[in-house]
Amino acid sequence: MILLLGCVDASDPCPGGEAATGGRVCTAPVTLRAELGTLDAELRWPAEADGSWPAAVVIPGGFDPYVLPVRQGTPMVNNAEGVVSLHLDLAGPAWGDGVDDHRGPLARAAVATGVAFLAGRAADATGRSVLDLAPGTRTDRLVLAGHSNGGNLAVATLADESLSLPGVVGLATFETPAGPQFVNVEHGGLGLSYATGTCTAGADGIDCPFTTEQAALSAEGEVCVDVDEDQLCGATENTVGGSLDPATSKRALSPRLRGMVDAEGLPAGDYDTLEEADDFWGERDAARLVAEMARVRPVPTVVVGTEEDHVLVGLADHPHVFGLYELLHQAGVAVRLNPGAAWSGLGAENDVGAPYGLSNAEGWLVPESTDVTLQDLLTAGTRELCARTDDEGW
């Protein structure tokens, strides 16, 4: 196939790319450019000669900034179901100062650079636009799709008034751990130090009392919640590594756990002070940034949640799901728990704007017994957000 002067061979569904997933999806590596430098990315789109598809910048969970190459089975959206997706490294040697800032301002700018490419506002390093590669892309129907901790970065990006995000009409999240206690898994995956029903959500974020106010240090110097209050980190007590703070090269605990460490007078020199941790989370915690997102870009949101949480399998009130949902609802954002049945193909759905929350975790969650996958749910959420934008259905 030959591309000349921006013309595209309409008979080739993968102009400038390669077929994948049994020929149902096209992929192409792209190098994105912006004032901060260049980033590696991968564009994926349906292998159809004709189409009109919404698009998503897919933001992975965890803190690892490197997602490429996109491995089979982990794209986070099903492109063959009619969605274009962009997957990008959030750091790189030619981006900013070349150092990963752990989901801080450089990562937010990376997401915005991905948005500019999907919106048709910027070409890649070879001069190709998204429409040169995937002509059916709806450049005015874009969604930020955040998996787990990726939802925190998505909210932080939407709340950043300094960034331009043309075409973004929605946010889709999957079990995002709003609140540093959940990002750090400070209660442990089974929630042994978690008191069900005690969390609160408000202007200062989400706070969940532990079952004890006592902390301890392990022999390796890591903090734990001292559930049995024996001043030791026992085999069943979860030690908390914390999240690396690039400003201090130390690790950031939640303010509540850091306060417990200070109250015990523990020599936790490898961790941020309370003030340092507060600064770190202030730029990265969706629970503290939702109100600003609602002021700057109150885009409708689909919060995806399953019956068995992907991390907190023992927490019956599902704070990974209902914490962020409650804050979005409080802030006046149009929010739906799980995609509607017309998009998910499932028989149940929740009303848009239903008053669910940490103290009212009654919304319908997707059972693991269904054949519907995480990719299916984020795809359905993306399609619903864009379709409702067309229909003005929110």
Q: What is the pLDDT of residues 167-201, one digit of tens each?
A: 999 999 999 999 999 999 999 888 889 999 899 99
Parts of the chain with a pLDDT under 50:
1-8
- What residue ranges do the domains of the chain occupy? 18-178+286-389, 192-282
Nearest to 70 by CA among 62, 60, 80: 60
Phi-psi region of 93 (alpha: psi -120 to 50; beta: other; left: phi over 0): alpha
Q: In whole angstroms, what is the distance from residue 70 CA to residue 187 CA?
A: 31
Nearest to 182 by CA among 243, 265, 94, 237: 243
Q: CA angle, 97 as apex, 91 and 166 as ends, to 5°?
A: 55
Query: Hey, what are 199's tokens?
Result: 């969390």
Bridge-partner residues for 210, per DSSP?
A: 194
Identify residue 119 by its one-letter amino acid code.
A
In this structure, the number of other CB atoms found within 10 A of the CB of residue 60 comes to 23
Residue 183 near residue 242, CB atoms below 8 Å:
no
- CA dihedral sign of residues 100, 104, 106, 107: positive
Query: Hey, what are 231's tokens?
Result: 């001043």
pLDDT tens, residue by residue, 91-119: 999 999 999 999 999 999 999 999 999 99
Orientation angle between helical segments 150-159 and 286-296, nearest 10 degrees: 40
pLDDT at 189: 82
Identify residue 189 by its one-letter amino acid code.
G
Orientation angle between helical segments 255-264 and 274-282, nearest 10 degrees: 180
User: Is 18-178+286-389 a CATH 3.40.50.1820 domain?
Assistant: yes
Q: What is each CA distance from 55 to 45, 140, 156, 259, 342, in whole angstroms?
A: 9, 9, 20, 43, 19
Residue 237 CA from chain centroid, whole number: 28
pLDDT at 4: 34
